[in-house]
Structure 1
Amino acid sequence: MRPPGGRGVPPAPRALLLALLALLAGAGGARAELRVRVRLPGGRVAEERLQADGAGDSVGLELREPDGALVSLTADFRKHVKILRALVLGELEKGQRQFQALCFVTRLRDHEIIPSEAMAKLRQKNPRAVRQAEEARGLEQLHMDMAVNFSQGALLSPHLHNVCAEATDAIYTRQEDVRFWLEQGVDSSMFKALPTDTEQALPRCGQAGDRGAPCVCRYGLSLAWYPCMLKYCHSRDRPAPYKCGIRSCQKSYSFTFFVPQRQLCPWEEDS
């Protein structure tokens, strides 16, 4: 690719849920878009959608995980904000919700993903090719100890309202990222500290007995393939290096966070 120059949901309801999740994921306005085929862990091939918004200086991708969860990443370069969202299918026969939305908001650091103008120029010679990441960036474990007020979320990033519309009570971040944004002038009133397991001796949700009891939940997701860096080439005819392609990466995340009821962490109920 070069720039020019799962879960046990009955079959019928599951199809409807997948269609609903696709509609929810598509909200957010017109952008330059590219679709690529990527190989997931375990060998399955899935279609990934890449988006670039040059005017808003942001990029995004979305991909369906092997268990049916729809995962997306939104990188807001202007506000230094990264939003990872998961729309997780429930198991209806166990009395769970049809789907549950989670948003994890962290500071966007330099060189995590290619810039929006580069993403907008991506093309592929063979749309049927199956992409595999050239670099594995490993697992990042993040303890999310703060909540974001959805009603004020646009002050943090204008993308938060669209991306996290289904996760109004499940938008998590970290104190260390909040400190950075406060230095950028973001209002502290939109953040709220969450109870910690050390303060209240909270159990992991998989070990909590009562479905209504508070606990510490864990959720993991993986970005199997994304354009993480630009490649530069050298030529005798050019005095300086020039952009000649991209480098792709794979990245996994494990989030831990407080939930007021164990039933809000259903994927750990059988753990």
Structure 2
Amino acid sequence: MCPPGSRGVPKASRALLLLPLLVWLLGTPRGVGAGASQRAELRVRVRLPEGQVTEESLQADSDNDSIILELRKPDGTLVSFIADFRKYVKIFRALILGELEKGQSQFQALCFVTRLHHNEIIPSEAMAKLRQKNPRAVRQPEEVRGLEHLHMDIAVNFSQGGLLSPHLRNVCAEAVDAIYTRQEDVWFWLQQGVDSSMFKALPKDTEQALLPHCGQVEDLGKPCVCHYGLNLAWYPCMLKYCHSHDRPVPYKCGIRSCQKSYNFNFYVPQRQLCLWDEDP
């Protein structure tokens, strides 16, 4: 007897449909009743661009329409990515460990806030339904998306940040004075009704062009342009659709995974706020 939905599909095709290690489960996830909040967490092992393997946490909240991704880099840095679909906001946070033997603080936090575009990542309700067949498998992305350079020229007022996204107050609590965004994203949010008073312009491009990169500055009290790069090693970026003779339209049957890197440049009033940035 053929499994449901496989009638008329060649055996080889059915085998191919079983290959993805992360599968789409149709219907209500186990343990979640009708009307209950669909919260789910998936932990996967991923290979970083440098070759090391780390564990990544993917949390989906379909009621609040958001996704949280977290991973720890080999140097101890904790990277978090939040997609807030309701507010069209994505937040990148890095908790960078300091070198105590050099007199640095225990850690330094950075938050970068940008506009969330359509189809950057799968919907929260789709993420909540993901399961993996082999938890010990090491995931590698099917697609490596291009490096994105972002010039962060606006500071975000932490005390009002909850109006931009309710996640910002929790995620960026350690980065009160280091929350950055871009003018082009601010223009979009203003059109959505966000209050402009939460944004403060940093020195203009023409002024920053006269400043050296922090890696070239020895005086820890001097202003400079800081650089920070981060990488989302593995995340579900698209839904896959399958065809069947039993169904008149394509149906969701899996995900496509991606990797994406970002380079952020931003102004700091003192070199000591950018100690990790060193010239090669």
> Is the TM value for this pair above 0.5?
yes
Partner of 1:259: 268
Q: 1:142 aligns with which of 147, 150, 161?
A: 150
State how far apart, in whole Å, the 2-side matches of 1:105 and 1:197 are: 19
Partner of 1:177: 185
Partner of 1:98: 106
Q: 1:223 aligns with which of 232, 238, 244?
A: 232
Partner of 1:160: 168
Partner of 1:56: 64
Q: 2:136 aligns with which of 104, 111, 128?
A: 128
Q: Does 2:255 align with 1:234? A: no
State how far apart, in whole Å, the 1-side matches of 2:105 and 2:261 are: 25
Partner of 1:19: none
Q: Deviations over 1:26-51 (max 9, x none)?
A: xxxx9421100111122211100000
Asked whether the 8 Å contact 2:216–2:279 carries over to 1, the reply is no
Deviation at 1:196, TM superposition (A): 3.3
Q: 2:259 aligns with which of 250, 260, 263?
A: 250
Q: Deviations over 1:130-167 (max 9, x none)?
A: 10000000210000000000000010000000110100
State how many pairs are aligned. Answer: 247
State how far apart, in whole Å, the 2-side matches of 1:91 and 1:270 are: 18
Q: Deviations over 1:7-58 (max 9, x none)?
A: xxxxxxxxxxxxxxxxxxxxxxx94211001111222111000000111100
Asked whether the 8 Å contact 2:151–2:264 carries over to 1, the reply is yes
Structure 1 gaps of 5+ residues are 6-29
State how far apart, in whole Å, the 1-side matches of 2:193 and 2:39 are: 28
Deviation at 1:89, TM superposition (A): 0.7
Structure 2 gaps of 5+ residues are 1-21, 27-37
Q: 1:70 aligns with which of 75, 78, 83?
A: 78
State how far apart, in whole Å, the 2-side matches of 1:46 and 1:205 are: 30
Partner of 2:25: 4
The alignment-based identity, stated in percent, is 79
Q: Deviations over 1:38-85 (max 9, x none)?
A: 111222111000000111100010011232211010000000000011
Off by >3 Å, runs of 4+ in structure 1:
none
Asked whether the 8 Å contact 1:139–1:251 carries over to 2, the reply is yes
Deviation at 1:198, TM superposition (A): 2.1
Q: Deviations over 1:116-141 (max 9, x none)?
A: 00010010111111100000002100
Asked whether the 8 Å contact 1:196–1:202 carries over to 2, the reply is no
Asked whether the 8 Å contact 1:197–1:203 carries over to 2, the reply is no
Decide which structure has greater helix share: 1
State how far apart, in whole Å, the 2-side matches of 1:164 and 1:31 are: 22
Asked whether the 8 Å contact 1:37–1:131 carries over to 2, the reply is yes
Partner of 2:49: 41
Asked whether the 8 Å contact 1:40–1:66 carries over to 2, the reply is no
Secondary structure class of the residue paired with 2:250: strand
Asked whether the 8 Å contact 1:196–1:258 carries over to 2, the reply is no
